[in-house]
């Protein structure tokens, strides 16, 4: 079975500081990994995803994540936080073996606060 | 959230009432799904469909029914609402892609309160 653990339900940073949101996964098969962002009262928006190939994945809004198989991690980073980054972030994993029946398993989310 | 439309956005129900959350997509995707989001629990899969006429249960299917008569529509039915079904519901539609993985598009959510 697959699972995702997001360390820290709340993260606070100052504007301009590094953002690091942690995600560890468990999967018996090569996973597909995703980060989604949710702004208040809105749906989920895909930030980035890892399927195969390059382990450093760049996404929208200056975010990137690195797939580290040895650490079973897929941490999300951004060098310099902006006030507009304040949102809830979800890490998710899916079984990429059968792409017609993918089902996402989500972490519990990390709420990012950015202080001026 | 281009292409996935959910209605209603907000709904208050009394315990025991029934209702249907509508979901439609115009991207001709075969795969659609329903998730519920609860505080501290992330999103959990309720039901999914791999094409018209085919549905299956997800992680938390109890209390919900679905049908898929067309590719575009995937309604979620609550036959007898319970307070435990107070949640935010998201419909999703998946574009499958060989070698690049799937891209999942979410609707904007339906906030349901059962009193």
| Mean pLDDT score, B17-25 | 97
Residues B91 and B72: beta-carbon distance below 8 Å: no
Q: What is the pLDDT of residues B79-91, one digit of tens each?
A: 999 999 999 999 9
In this prediction, residue B100 carries a pLDDT of 59
List, in sequence order, the alpha helices (H) in chain B. none
What does the pLDDT read at residue A100? 45
Share of chain A above pLDDT 70, in %: 94
Chain B interface test: which of A32, A38, A44 (most B C-beta within 10 Å): A44
More confident residue, A42 or A56: A56
Residues of A in contact with B107 (CB under 8 A): 43
Contact (Cβ atoms closer than 8 angstroms) between residue B19 and residue B85: no
Instruction: Bin A77: left if φ > 0, else alpha if -120 < ψ < 50, else beta.
Output: beta
pLDDT digits (tens, 9 = 90+) for A64-94: 999 999 999 999 999 999 999 999 999 998 8
Q: CB-CB: which of B31, B42, B103 is closest to A46?
A: B103
Tell me which residue in B1, B41, B94 faces A102 most closely, judged by beta carbons: B94
Do the Cβ atoms of B99 and A51 come within 8 Å?
A: yes
Q: Which of A4, A96, A107 sits opposite B101 (nearest CB)?
A: A96
Q: List the structure tokens of A114.
A: 């950015």
């Amino acid at each position: 079975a697959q699972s995702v653990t997001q360390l820290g339900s709340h993260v606070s940073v100052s504007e301009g500081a590094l953002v690091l949101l942690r995600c560890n996964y468990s999967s018996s098969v090569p996973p597909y990994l995703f980060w989604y962002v949710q702004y208040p009262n809105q749906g989920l928006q895909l930030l980035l995803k890892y399927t195969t190939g390059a382990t450093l994945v760049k996404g929208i809004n200056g975010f990137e994540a690195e797939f580290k198989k040895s650490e079973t991690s897929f941490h999300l980073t951004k060098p310099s936080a902006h006030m507009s980054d304040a949102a809830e972030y979800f890490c998710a994993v899916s079984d990429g073996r059968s792409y017609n029946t993918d089902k996402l398993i989500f972490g519990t989310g990390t709420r990012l606060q950015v202080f001026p | 959230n281009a292409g996935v439309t959910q209605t209603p956005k907000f709904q208050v129900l009394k315990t025991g009432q029934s209702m249907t959350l509508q979901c439609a997509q115009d991207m001709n995707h075969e795969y659609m799904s329903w998730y519920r989001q609860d505080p501290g629990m992330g999103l959990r899969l309720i039901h999914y469909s791999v094409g018209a006429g085919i549905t299956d249960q997800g992680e938390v299917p109890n209390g919900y029914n679905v049908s898929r008569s067309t590719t575009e529509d995937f309604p979620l039915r609550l036959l007898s609402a319970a307070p435990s079904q107070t949640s935010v519901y998201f419909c999703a539609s998946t574009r499958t892609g060989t070698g690049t993985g799937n891209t999942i598009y979410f609707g904007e959510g339906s906030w349901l309160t059962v009193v």
